[in-house]
Each structure stands twice: as C-alpha cells, then as structure tokens.
Structure 1
Amino acid sequence: MENKAYRGHVLALPFPIQGHINPLLQFSKRLVSKGLKATLATTLFIHNTMQPQSSSSLQFDTISDGYDEGGFAQAESIHASLNRMETIGSKTLADLILKNKNTANPIDCIIYDPFLPWALEVAKKFGIFGAAFFTQTCAVNFIYYHVHHGLLKLPITSTPISIPGLPVLELADMPSFISVPGSYPAYFEMVLNQFSGTDKADAVLVNTFYELEPEAVEAMSKVYRLLPIGPTIPSFYLDKRLENDNDYGLNLFVSDSSVCNNWLNTKPEGSVIYASFGSMASLSNKQMEELAFALKGSKFHFLWVVKASEEAKLPEKFVEEIGNKGLVVQWCSQLEVLSNKAIGCFLTHCGWNSTLEALSLGVPMVGVPQWTDQTTNAKYVQDVWKVGVRAKVCENGIVERKEIEFCIKEVMEGERGKDFLENAKKWRDLAIKAGSKGGSSDKNIDEFVSRFINS
C-alpha cells in the first residue's frame, strides 16, 4: 500500500511470554483500527512456536534473545537470559528498524514492554517515538515504582502499608517479591528496572481502565503522563467494533475448543467452576492434591485446566473417578469458557490477564494467588472490586481443600454470592463502556495516536 494509506507504523515489542504478548497484540489491533500500521516483534523461538500469520495491516516480525532454538528453557539462569536478551535483542531490534527504514512504511514508533527497558534506548538512538506499555495494574506498578525510587523501604518492618492511591495493604497483599524477601531476585530486579528511563518515554500506557482503579491512576499520573488503554481483550467480548476479533490469535498452547464448549453446553447456567492457574504457575504436588479433592468434593461441576507438565501431580485415577462431574483439559480458550453461561465462578491464580478477562465478562472469582502481582490482584478482587473471595493460606503455604470448598460455596451459593455476581456484571458493563467509542480508554488511545502522529 502507498505510504499515505497509513498514519504511522508502530512496532510493538512484548516480553516473550504468553501473558505479555496477548495484551500488546490486542492493543496493536486497536491501533490498526485507528489507521496505523502495526508490527508485533517476538523472539525467533516464540515466532517459530506460534507461527503467526501477517495480514495487510497487522504484521509479525522477529528479534533474537540469543536462544533461538529453545527460548528461556535454553538459558543457564534467569539472570543470564535477561542479560543476553538485552545484548542481542538491542542489536536485532536495531537491525529490524534498519530493515524497514527505506520501505514505504518505516517504523516511527516503538511500544515496548518495560520488562525490556533497553528497547527505549534503541528507539531514542534512531529518533523514534517510544512508549512504555505496562501489562500489570496501576496499583502494582505504583508499588514497584515506590520501591525503585526508595519511597518504600525494604524489608517492610511495620504494617499496614500506606501508598497514595491504594487501599491500606498488609504484607500478604504486597507482590510476592516484597512479601517474601529474597524470592526470585532476578525477576524482582526486572520489575524494578521497568522504571529505568521511563521518564524519558514519550507515552506511558497501562493495561487497565480508569474506572477500575481511579485513585491509583490519579496517583501515578502525578509522576507520568499516564494513559489507561485497557481492557486489551478481543473486541468480540467487549464493544464488537473490530471485525472477526474473537481471539488473541497467538497461542503457545494448543487447545480444542469444541471439547470444552460441548461439555459446558450440557450444564445448567451458573453451575460450573472453571479452574485455571495460567501459563506459568507450577503448583506443588500437595497443592494439586488439595485442589483436586476440593473440586471433587464440592457439589458443583468443574472444568479444570491442567497443563501437560502438571498432569503427573494429579491424584491417582482422579480423571477416571470424577466421571461427568468434571472435565480436565490441558488448555482451552479461556475467553470462550468464561463467556459460557454455564460458568458460575472462576477459581484463579489472579494473574492480571485472567483477572481482567473475568472482570470484563462478569464472572465472580475465588482467588488462590501464587506469586508476583497475583496477591495484590486478589486483594482488589475481594476488598476493592468485591467480585469474590481470596482463599486463606495455611502456615505451610498451602490452601487446603476445606478452605477451597468453603470459598467456592461462598461464591456459588453463599449469602454474598448474589452481591459478587451483581458487582461482576457492573464491572463488565464499565469495561465494555471504557473501550467503546468515546469511552475513557478509547479516548486515551486517540490521545496516544494524536501524540505520536504530531510528535
């Protein structure tokens, strides 16, 4: 197409895991609908695994993280993989920019995941508009911001914890890197380094919407010109403005939607527990056992996603013994499942993508957070958005079957169950409104495009 056909060419660069690729991919689709050309650049390993198909406006390209054959699994350590990705990623990102330089549509904007702060340095080297895209909530980002800038001293020695724009937090409500000092030091360094150079970014985008956490957005907006642009889920489940946008389109895991849909369609409305712990969580054998017996012991049907790598942790003969009461699958289209009328609640790790999908589809939750931002998200699920409960952890770090059963019953049929459902529907309506034409997030996307085009 001629140069005049596009208002600009955006290169989107996500951190190479499923939960960070999907939001930036979805945002790229929104930008295309605003008249921009977009290219999503993943690592060679991710690209070869997902095999995405480019279209006339949304294209896919690659950079290298130095582990083209096996991805992160090929690295000797997390720290080594991050260092190598910075070194090789910076060079191959520059190569990609140069490859497009003399085309009809050179890259003139880079939207980067702040887990990759070096991408902004590359953008500035070429005089390209650079925008940070935070995939987690404003609340979580602002906690990390306070730690990074020394405004919140670690280790935390007294509670409750007060941070502008956030509810009063206990230690257990903080991200796990903070509540469990010394855990995953390389990842903790990465989440703090998100703010390296962010003040030099031309725009700061967040995958949330204003109505969901207005106080946190207002507080963080005092240090950055913040633009909440979420929820970044396919348009089919929100405003239906983008044609044929009913799936993210890139998946590291293969699923057979018909199996789940056919099974769910035989179940009464609101009668099924959907249980899934995301693409990264690895539960202990004991926690898997407690979950299994809680689901089996409840009086409700259940659909449980158990990744292939976790199947060996299931109790012996569990799948055979549950019969038609439950369905265990290795992966599924979560949006299709959550939108099915048979789902009554979501038993979740409270990863932000999963939480935002449940909020956008009006599904109450039982939170069993595992690590990183999930504990803070669970706090909001229970005490701020009031769309479910957070399961209590025992002294041994396990959520026991009786607690899980109690929480499920509380959401599915307890006295507060109707309130959870009503609140979930309220947030669903607000999510749809935010992304619709003239909504808060839609206006912010327009502002971003205007700021970029006029820069």
Structure 2
Amino acid sequence: MEEERENGAHCLIVPYPITGHINPMLQFAKRLSHKRVRVTLALTEFLLKTTTFSAASVSLRPISDGFDDGGRAHAKTSDEYFARFQETGRQTLSELIRELSGSGRVVDCVVYDPFIPWVLDVAKGAGLQAAAFFTQSCAVDNIYHQAYAGELRLPLSGGEVEVPGLPAMKPDEMPSFIYVHGSYPGPFRMILDQFRNLGRADWIFINTFRELEEEVLQYWMTRIGRVRAVGPTIPSIYLDKRLQDDKEYGLTIFKPMSNICMEWLNQRQPRSVVYVSFGSLAELTVDQIEELACALTTCGKHFLWVIRKSEESKFPAKLLAPMGLVVSWCDQLEVLAHEAVGCFVTHCGWNSTLEALSLGVPIVAMPQWTDQSCNAKFVVDVWGSGVRARPNEKGLVRREEIIGCVESVMEGKFISSNATKWKEIARAAVDEGGTSDKNIEEFVSALKILKATTNK
C-alpha cells in the first residue's frame, strides 16, 4: 500500500486556518489517503506551533499567513489579515510547491478552501489541477453565490425570500451576513470573493451528501457544473468504520476533558442527557447564558454543558445544579455517540449539524450568526430532526422557550425517528459504493489518469 501511494498521485490540501474549516478538509484528506493517494496538508506556521496534530496518513507542511507569532488575533482588522495572508501566503505556497517537486514529491492537484481563492491562482500558475472544497452547506453556498452574482438583491426587502433550489425562506432564516446587511463587511467580502475565480477550478467539492441537499445540489450541478458532494466528513469510526484508526479529527486546539465526560455519561440512563455546546467561536451574552442556565437547572434533566474558558466569567456559578456537568471542552463526537445523550442544544454550525445528523441526535437550534440560521431552517423545516428556540424581540431566547424546546425534542418520537433516519442515510453515503464514496472514487480515478498522463 505504501509503495503504491509513493508512486501514485499527490494532493496538496490548503484549508482556511480555523478549526471548522480544517477538520472537514482533513477528513477528506484521510479518505484520499485510504484510497492510496499521497496527501500533504498545508497549515500556517502559527497553527503548527499551537495545535496538536495526530493523523499519520497525512503529511504536514507550513505556509505563512504573515502572522507567524500570533495568527489572526495579531491582525488589527480582518482586512489586514486577509491582505497579509494573500501576500505572504501566495509566496510561501509557491515555494512549498517548488520544494515538494524538487524533493521528488511532485504535486498533481491542489484542493483549496474558497475562503482563500488566491490558492487557485497559485495552483494554475504552477500548471496544476485544482479542486475547490466548500466547508459550508450547499444551501448556504448557493445563497452567497446568488448575492455574488447580483441575483439576490441586498439589502433584503419584503417578505419571504425566493432562491433557486431552496424552499422559500424568511429573511431571518438567511445567513446573518445577508439578513443583517452591512454587518461584518470584511468577512462578507471574503465570502463573496469565494466565487471570483471559481470557473477555473477543475472540481468543486461540498461537505454534504446528496440525499441531504439533493435539490440545491442538482441546481448547482446544472448552473456551475463539476459539483460533487463528498460528505459528511467526520471520522470513519462513527460512519462506515472502514478506516479503523480514524477515531478523531486529529487536530486539537482546546484540550478535551474526555475522561470526566465519559465517566459522567456512563452513569446516566439512555437518552436522558441534554448536551449543550456553541462551538469554538460563538460568544453568548451574559443574559443569554443566564437564561440557558436557568432553563437547564429547572427542566429536571441531566445536562452536559461546554463553556469555553474564554466564556467562563459569564457563567452564573450560583445556578450550577447537581443535575449538570460543566466542562471547558469535550470530544463532541464521542459525546454525541454516547447512548445517554438524547438532545443537542447547538448554534447549528455546519460541522456540529452534520455530526448530529450523522449520529442521530435530535437538535434544539439556537443559531447565533453567519450560516447558522440557515442551517437551523433546514434542521427544522426540511430534515425534521429538531426544533428552533426562537428569540424574543430583543434577540434573547428566554428560559421558558428553551425548556419547551428541550421537552419537545426529548419526548418527541417523530423528531427522534427522523434523526435516526438521517443517521442511516449519512452512513450509507460514505460506505463503499455510497453516493459520496462514488464521488471521491471518481476524483481519485481522475487523479490516477492525470498522473499516468504526466509520467508519459
């Protein structure tokens, strides 16, 4: 196997340097490696110095974002970070491609995150094939593409919004960058810039699976072409189990309190625990945390709540009840896969949403910003795998609303049944011969043909 990989095609994978974008691309890299493609993952110098990495089948190499000592946090503005990353990243990525070629590990294809579209320019400048890898849902990508093309007029006006390939949506069910027009202008420019050179990409991959977003995927294939669903990109042990050593993503920024969580969950009854986490970036207000704490401590159910160290000062410790366990971080997949967990209160980031769907855990959606409100719309109204906790006129989700949503999910057989259904479909998609597996195999076959042609 190693000899075949040594003489086979070589993919250089370049993610945007945040965990939520790296992990799905890293899982895709593992799938390629399992199919005997050599893979190198390019991460920024800062990330390589500050994270723990454990994925033996994938090689790591550095590039620079221009902030090697502090990463994004050391940039004064998002615009400064994007500009510096583009300037320094172009140079160091080009050097890496030449270095790999000179050492006998010639790169055949670059798989890149469209959040950094200049990677495609570098790849094409080096005469390489290139694949864009979208880490958000196809629905969200479609909405952003409509805005980029000027077909979705901003700011929004009127009632429901009609977007091809999607159900009619209320304005507040759109991504927050669309709904609250003018918020975070720097990141929004970056999001629209994903599409500026997409026509030059040889493949377009999306972290979803056909059965989950069939209509919008079909629309994109008709309009853009070259589109393939390759998800859900979560460790194989939780899906098809073909990669026996693939039990975690392999990139760790926060230290999970795994032993404490598992010991506590092992003492709970099946489907009795409410798991609460808002990911690695979302920041709840002090008032929202208090409402959530009051809801959890009065609903009469055990709960496991992840509150990052940066958020600990907001937590009302006096409300902590014996029914709950509060930790600074956990292995989310390990928790969601535990039989004690019956409900997931989440911000509905795409990775968390895919994990819950793939593990059959019903959702209480509390979206905060960016793509999360759109993901929540699909969870509730399209996939039927959860409910949304609605905020009041001040944007605060009150404790009574949270309690009602938790009870309806924990006691709702219909939602639980739908969650189980999506678990089975997600696993089938990546199993041998499944829809996503076929798309990955098609890409691998194309790489082998490309390599054979190049060698001639």
**Match of residue 122 from structure 1:** 122
**Match of residue 426 from structure 2:** 431
Which consecutive residues of structure 1, in runs of 5 or more, have no partner in the other structure? Answer: none
Specify the SS of the correspondent of 1:164: coil
Which consecutive residues of structure 2, in runs of 5 or more, have no partner in the other structure? Answer: 451-456
Output the amino acid matched with 1:265.
N
1:189 has 2:184 as partner: no
Aligned-pair CA distance for 1:105: 1.9
Work out the CA distance in 1 between the residues paired with 2:355 and 2:13.
22
TM-score, scaled relative to structure 1: 0.97
Aligned-pair CA distance for 1:450: 2.1
**Match of residue 246 from structure 1:** 247
Work out the CA distance in 1 between the residues paired with 2:305 and 2:29.
31
Aligned-pair CA distance for 1:83: 0.8
Cα distance, 1:211–1:81 mapped onto 2, change above 3 Å? same
Alignment of 1:34-45 (within 5 A): 34-45=35-46
Q: Is the 8 A contact 1:367 1:378 kept in 2?
A: yes
Structure 1 moving runs of 4+ over 3 Å: 1-6
Work out the CA distance in 1 between the residues paired with 2:280 and 2:435.
30
Alignment of 1:125-274 (within 5 A): 125-222=125-222, 223-274=224-275
Describe the superposition over 1:149-195 as per-residue Cα deviations: whole angstroms up to 9, x where unpaired.
Answer: 01111011122111121111110110000111111111111111111
Cα distance, 1:6–1:32 mapped onto 2, change above 3 Å? farther
Aligned-pair CA distance for 1:2: 5.9
Specify the SS of the correspondent of 1:195: coil
**Match of residue 9 from structure 1:** 10
Describe the superposition over 1:357-404 as per-residue Cα deviations: whole angstroms up to 9, x where unpaired.
Answer: 000000000000000000000000000000110111111111111111
Q: Is the 8 A contact 2:54 2:250 kept in 1?
A: no
Aligned-pair CA distance for 1:347: 0.1
Work out the CA distance in 1 between the residues paired with 2:55 and 2:337.
28
1:421 has 2:422 as partner: no
Describe the superposition over 1:235-269 as per-residue Cα deviations: whole angstroms up to 9, x where unpaired.
Answer: 00000001211100111110121100000010000
Aligned-pair CA distance for 1:106: 1.3
Cα distance, 1:261–1:189 mapped onto 2, change above 3 Å? same
What is the aligned-residue RMSD (CA, Å)? Answer: 1.2
Q: Is the 8 A contact 1:52 1:60 kept in 2?
A: no
Output the amino acid matched with 1:99.
E
1:395 has 2:396 as partner: no
Aligned-pair CA distance for 1:451: 2.5
Output the amino acid matched with 1:36.
V
Aligned-pair CA distance for 1:98: 1.0
1:411 has 2:404 as partner: no
Q: Is the 8 A contact 2:5 2:38 kept in 1?
A: no
Output the amino acid matched with 1:186.
G
Work out the CA distance in 2 between the residues paired with 1:452 and 1:79.
36
Specify the SS of the correspondent of 1:454: helix
TM-score, scaled relative to structure 2: 0.96
Aligned-pair CA distance for 1:4: 6.8
Aligned-pair CA distance for 1:285: 0.9
Work out the CA distance in 1 between the residues paired with 2:6 and 2:65.
33
Specify the SS of the correspondent of 2:83: helix
Q: Is the 8 A contact 1:8 1:105 kept in 2?
A: no
1:305 has 2:303 as partner: no
Which piece of structure 1 moves more, 187-196 or 377-386? 187-196
Q: Is the 8 A contact 1:228 1:441 kept in 2?
A: yes
Alignment of 1:260-409 (within 5 A): 260-319=261-320, 322-323=321-322, 325-409=323-407
Q: Is the 8 A contact 1:274 1:347 kept in 2?
A: yes
Work out the CA distance in 2 between the residues paired with 1:442 and 1:154.
38
Which piece of structure 1 moves more, 389-398 or 338-347? 389-398
Work out the CA distance in 2 between the residues paired with 1:180 and 1:75.
25
**Match of residue 106 from structure 1:** 106
Cα distance, 1:425–1:153 mapped onto 2, change above 3 Å? same
Work out the CA distance in 1 between the residues paired with 2:318 and 2:389.
27
Output the amino acid matched with 2:275.
Y
Aligned-pair CA distance for 1:52: 2.3
Q: Is the 8 A contact 1:53 1:59 kept in 2?
A: no
Which piece of structure 1 moves more, 394-403 or 44-53? 44-53
Describe the superposition over 1:118-168 as per-residue Cα deviations: whole angstroms up to 9, x where unpaired.
Answer: 000000010111100000111000000000001111011122111121111
**Match of residue 64 from structure 2:** 64
Work out the CA distance in 2 between the residues paired with 1:347 and 1:103.
49
Q: Is the 8 A contact 2:231 2:436 kept in 1?
A: yes
State the aligned residue count: 448
Percent identity, aligned pairs only, is 50
**Match of residue 453 from structure 2:** none
